[in-house]
Structure 1
Amino acid sequence: MPHRIAAIQKLLATQPHPERVALLAIAGDSASGKTTLTKGLVQAIGEHRISSFCTDDYHRYDRVERKSLPFTPLNPECNFLEIMEQHLQLLTLGQPILKPKYHHTDGTLGRPELFTPREIVIVEGLFPLWSRLSRATFDVTAYLDPPEPIRREWKIQRDVSKRGYTEEQVLADLDKREPESEKFIRPQRAHADIVISFAPVEGRKELSATILLRPTVPHPDLHDILTPATREAAHIKLIRDQDGKPVDALHVHGHAPVSASRLVEEKLWEKIGLDGEIPESLGRISSTERSAPLAVAQLILLHHMIHT
């Protein structure tokens, strides 16, 4: 047996693959902002350098089949998580995978797709941080943690406008999912290097962000960015995390003057070290709406991906 394993490893080493594959996980509950965050990052650097996919593709059942089941997609029993773990291991080695496909528009399962890793792979979805094995494949991990009222509002807006549900159906589905969300999805927050929460501050309508930078990975030095000139846009302070441990919390204000917010973004972009202007995709929520806190969160993740 050992000689067979050695032979396989030797053959794999001779196959062309990226010299370095950096894996980033973006986990979170349904409609927490994972796809928006990921899309901006991919467009910023380009698909020639970044490839991404959603772990929802590993759903075991389609939408019609799930109606007769006693659990929801938030239950591990509803997903091929062992296959996901195998695929993540292959991706860390630069190997392509034959990935399943789930269509969110109509809830059907499609034909498997060949997925070839680029220099950077972003894996977003409900379960990327589910197990020790899956977590071990990532260089850096993030969890999106908006307040529940905000997330529920986002889910209603998205599922009604894009997925063909009525508001009543979405509300009923949220209630049905809640026990499994609490049991299986939210515990992944504890395993993230970065926790991001988008929400308006009291008395404001613009989205702000609180970004927890846990000491599990080295983060970009922000001391030369968070100066008196940028105080209105962002500041950092030491707080207690949910487990009582101290953690750096970066607060990015959505209501700050554009000039101050832009200065934070420009300094972060300069620290990343890429050529050109800040990509327009960063911070983009829609074709007409932009969020500086979203852009700052994306820039921090981008720094990790480039400098891992």
Structure 2
Amino acid sequence: MPPSDFKRVIAESPYVFIIGVAGDSGSGKTTFTQAIRAIFGEDLVSTITIDDYHRYDRRERKELGITPLVPEANRFDLLEEHLEALKAGKPIAKPVYNHDTGVFDPPVPFKPTKILILEGLHPFITPKMRDLIDFKLYVDPDPEVKRAWKIKRDVEQRGYSPDAVIREMEERKPDFERYVAPQCRFADAVIKVAFSKYGREASEERNVYHVTLCQSKFERSIRDVDLSIDLFGILSLSQRNFMVEFTTEDVGGTAMGALAFDGELNYAVVRKLERNIEIQTQVQPISLVQNGAYLTAGDMAQLILAWRIINRRIFIEGAPEATGNGGCGCGRR
């Protein structure tokens, strides 16, 4: 069993647990760690974006004819130094890249929380960064989904024109395929997102997508795991389309189990799953949606991914009744 009052255990532990989230710009990296933020709260969870560690500002990159996806356009040496300090519980002076102006603002003081999320294009690019990260997630939306998301974000939040966003995506594509996409082979989990099989309108109007959670094999886990979905609830309560499918997929040369969801599922069906996670982790309450609402496929993937991350964190404390050889539950490097 996990330690009782696991939030308190994390808060009192000296260990800084780092979650790395890799993916292209506009790929939805922040979305799939929202459950961790919701469960543990901002007192325990903070985020660093790798964009802050660009070596050149927007004008300099244009003059040099390079994109930020090229490793040489980033200060990975400084990022490694800062991650090492944060892992040791030490504060840093974090650089700040301003997306509105395209230049750097003055550095800001940054203190590590007990759960640190590192998001960006290259969190797994160097062996040292991979070694400092405890859980690695790669987010991989289909090209058409990524295109729609990035246009929406950059037009609404960053003031770009749709034509400028599309042009930039085409310019960045070779560097993405060369430097960012191969990082999926280091991931403990890969999220794939496609437009819903129930129609693109469901995705664009109700945020309903076909979401696949690919996971490496568990090295160790909490005993008596019960992550069941209430079949009776599906048959009696659900009035909207929903699909669950399990396959195996090759991800960067590694076979992963792929659990796919699509559509919307009544909250009552998933409440048992939430409750079981609460019991297993002693993290309460876990409530990502309001009673009576419907969860999307993305919500389901977030919930299961959160349980997987919590499971990894539990073994850093050394759960005596855990299966496996004990010790830190670190994944593939």
Name the TM-score, length of structure 2 as normaliser: 0.76
Aligned to 2:71: 76
Aligned to 1:109: 104
Structure 1 residues 147 and 189, CA gap change in structure 2 (3 angstroms): same
Aligned to 2:237: none
Structure 1 residues 230 and 46, CA gap change in structure 2 (3 angstroms): farther
Aligned to 2:300: 293
The one-letter code sitting in structure 1 at the alignment partner of 2:215 is: L
Q: Which runs of 5+ in 2 are unaligned?
A: 1-11, 203-207, 235-241, 291-295, 317-333
- Name the CA distance, whole Å, in 1 between partners of 2:232 and 2:129: 38
Aligned to 1:100: 95
- Name the CA distance, whole Å, in 2 between partners of 1:186 and 1:237: 23
CA offset digits 1:128-180 (Å, max 9, x no partner): 11111110001111110111110111000000000010000000000000000
Q: Is the 8 A contact 1:52 1:122 kept in 2?
A: yes
Structure 1 residues 67 and 245, CA gap change in structure 2 (3 angstroms): closer
1:94 match: secondary structure: coil
Structure 1 residues 257 and 107, CA gap change in structure 2 (3 angstroms): same
Q: Is the 8 A contact 2:263 2:297 kept in 1?
A: no
Stretch moving more, 85-94 or 147-156:
85-94
- Name the CA distance, whole Å, in 2 between partners of 1:162 and 1:112: 23
Alignment of 1:1-308 (within 5 A): 19-39=14-34, 41-204=36-199, 205=202, 206-215=208-217, 217-218=219-220, 224-227=226-229, 229=231, 235=244, 237-243=246-252, 245-279=254-288, 291-300=298-307, 302-304=309-311, 306-307=313-314, 308=316
- Name the CA distance, whole Å, in 2 between partners of 1:78 and 1:208: 34
CA offset digits 1:57-113 (Å, max 9, x no partner): 101122222222221011112111111111112222222221111122332211111
- Name the CA distance, whole Å, in 2 between partners of 1:128 and 1:181: 14
Q: Is the 8 A contact 2:29 2:119 kept in 1?
A: yes
CA offset digits 1:228-277 (Å, max 9, x no partner): 62896675635131345432222233333343244433433443321234
Q: Is the 8 A contact 1:208 1:293 kept in 2?
A: no
How much is the aligned-residue C-alpha RMSD, in angstroms?
Answer: 2.9
- Name the CA distance, whole Å, in 1 between partners of 2:18 and 2:41: 16
1:29 match: secondary structure: coil
Query: Structure 1 residue 30: deviation in Å?
Result: 0.6
- Name the CA distance, whole Å, in 1 between partners of 2:249 and 2:175: 26
- Name the CA distance, whole Å, in 2 between partners of 1:128 and 1:180: 16
Query: Structure 1 residue 37: deviation in Å?
Result: 3.2
- Name the CA distance, whole Å, in 2 between partners of 1:247 and 1:221: 22
The one-letter code sitting in structure 1 at the alignment partner of 2:124 is: L
2:59 match: secondary structure: helix
- Name the CA distance, whole Å, in 1 between partners of 2:217 and 2:232: 24
The one-letter code sitting in structure 1 at the alignment partner of 2:210 is: S
- Name the CA distance, whole Å, in 1 between partners of 2:38 and 2:230: 32
Instruction: Indicate the percent of aligned positions where both proteins have the same amino acid.
Output: 31
CA offset digits 1:273-304 (Å, max 9, x no partner): 212342569xxxxxxx9952353255235524
- Name the CA distance, whole Å, in 2 between partners of 1:222 and 1:249: 22
CA offset digits 1:23-64 (Å, max 9, x no partner): 111111111111233455334422221222111110112222
Structure 1 residues 84 and 244, CA gap change in structure 2 (3 angstroms): closer
The one-letter code sitting in structure 2 at the alignment partner of 1:276 is: P
The one-letter code sitting in structure 2 at the alignment partner of 1:170 is: V
- Name the CA distance, whole Å, in 2 between partners of 1:136 and 1:252: 31
Q: Is the 8 A contact 2:184 2:251 kept in 1?
A: no
1:106 match: secondary structure: coil
- Name the CA distance, whole Å, in 1 between partners of 2:220 and 2:34: 24
2:21 match: secondary structure: strand
Q: Is the 8 A contact 1:238 1:246 kept in 2?
A: no
